[in-house]
Amino acid sequence: MELLQQILSTGLSTVTDVLPIVIVIFGFQLLVLRQKIPKLKRVLIGFVYVLIGLTLFLVGLEVTLFPIGKLMAQQLTDPVFIRQAAGVVSGSLQWDDYAWVYLFAAAIGFATTVAEPSLIAVAIKAQQVSGGSITVWGLRVSVAFGVAIGIALGAFRIVTGTPLHYYIIAGYVVVLIQTLYAPRMIIALAYDSGGVTTSTVTVPLVAALGLGLASNIPGRSALIDGFGLIAFASLFPIMSVMGYAQLGEWRARRQQQSDNGEINEDD
Amino acid sequence: MLVILGLTFFIRGLEQALFPIGESIAYAFARKGNVFWLLLFAFALGFGTTIAEPALTAVTAKAADIAALDGHISTDKAAKANYALGLRLTVAFSVGVAIVAGVLRILRGWPIQYFIMSGYAGVVIMTFFAPPEIIGIAYDSGGVTTSTVTVPLVTALGVGLANSIKGRNPMIDGFGLIAFASLTPMIFVMAYGMII
């Protein structure tokens, strides 16, 4: 019964999320373009599928994964646990005593990103457009790696309390340098993957981690230091996706060279 | 179980509704050849989807708490709600502008790097002038603007546009709309923090 109620309320909020999009699309379609939508019935059914899918997905997360994730985030950032794990009995904690927190941050970043529906959407589109040279899984895993590194580094930042913008600006510099060397076709996609990673699944869990960390470490304000993890999660995938493309290109080139080598030997 | 079932439904719906409709609209606008309406559509799509985004509502409410704590605005509810609403409008407006700029870029075929680089430069410069307590929120607001329904639609729109215009490569020119939408809110939110 409770589950049903949850499904209903989540469904309602999904509908309000989708409603403005439907209004904009149909409004322009009818008033400006003045034409019927091709395969209207199919599209409408598709919209219903999206609604049902998102609702079930969110409720499923709400019932199973979110409570566990949030609980773990709380327990892992609890000073008592950290002292135990690090074997520090007294005195103040150093940044390297938080090893479990970084590991958890990376794991949760990776897991939530692989499950992110909007990333799946972009990956499907990228595979279609690139004619299969970018695979859905390749993109998803490389983005997830980027988020994992980003969140772990973000947790490190909260622990040490260094200013956020140093990291972000340094990250921008790396992105700019990579942009010069990465294959041209990946650049736009890489920039996009920064934006899509942080959505329905990632944000609630990562926010819980950030707030838990910031409120348990002395001298950090949950309101001010708790923010910023999402910024890390949207910056690092840009690097990892460009890295993925660079790796792919490098391997293709090496393949070619060894192929050429074989041909030469045949000669 | 629910999660897997939900994802399956979502992907089916994606391929049946969101992708085709994004592309068919892109083709229709390209055939019509009216840039003004296309840009207006782009703005409405960006603004409309962002203003309704639940994640953004949550973030702006928190931001109002911080501002009240620092004494920028008074701590009563009305002032906070006002601040949060202003912030939401700012972000929604900036996403609208971002999609318009992104669509223009696809139409003209300008390389994306220049935009992103000048956007980064804008963010960095603003960081030095914006009040410190808004910086974290500003950086995060870039990430939360793009919802699960907006992303596939906007991606399909971009790829469809790039496909229907001669001389555009959908891989190079079609993507990148989302990147714009996550960059401009940072700049606009910091500006908002400076003005208020």
> What pLDDT, in 10s, does the model give residues A206-223?
877 887 777 777 777 766
Nearest residue, CB atoms, B16 vs list A42, A120, A130: A42
The predicted structure's pLDDT at residue A149: 92
Percent of chain B predicted with pLDDT > 90: 2
CB–CB of B135 and A164 under 8 A? Answer: yes
Please measure the distance between the N-terminal and C-terminal CA atoms of chain B and give it in whole angstroms: 47
The predicted structure's pLDDT at residue A94: 67
SS3 A189: helix
pTM: 0.80
Who has greater pLDDT, A30 or B159? B159
Alpha helices in B33-176 (DSSP H): 35-51, 54-69, 77-108, 112-129, 132-144, 150-164
Highest mean pLDDT among A152-161, A197-206, B62-71: A152-161
Quote the minimal CA–CA distance from B34 to chain A in Å. 10
What is the overall mean pLDDT for chain B?
82
Chain B hits for A53, CB-CB cut-off 8 Å, are: 5-13
The predicted structure's pLDDT at residue A265: 45
Average pLDDT over residues B125-146: 79
The predicted structure's pLDDT at residue A133: 78
pLDDT digits (tens, 9 = 90+) for B91-125: 899 989 998 998 888 888 888 888 888 888 888 88
What is the overall mean pLDDT for chain A?
79
Average pLDDT over residues A152-170: 85
CB–CB of B127 and A19 under 8 A? Answer: no
pLDDT digits (tens, 9 = 90+) for B154-177: 888 888 888 888 778 878 888 888
The predicted structure's pLDDT at residue A144: 92
Quote the minimal CA–CA distance from B114 to chain A in Å. 10
Residue B58, Cβ density class (10 Å: 0-12 exposed, 13-18 middle, ≥19 buried): middle
* Helix (H) / strand (E) containing B25: helix B19-32
A29 near A37, Cβ under 8 Å? Answer: yes
pLDDT digits (tens, 9 = 90+) for B44-80: 888 888 887 777 777 787 778 777 776 667 777 788 8
CB–CB of B112 and A188 under 8 A? Answer: yes
pLDDT band for position A111 (50/70/90)? confident
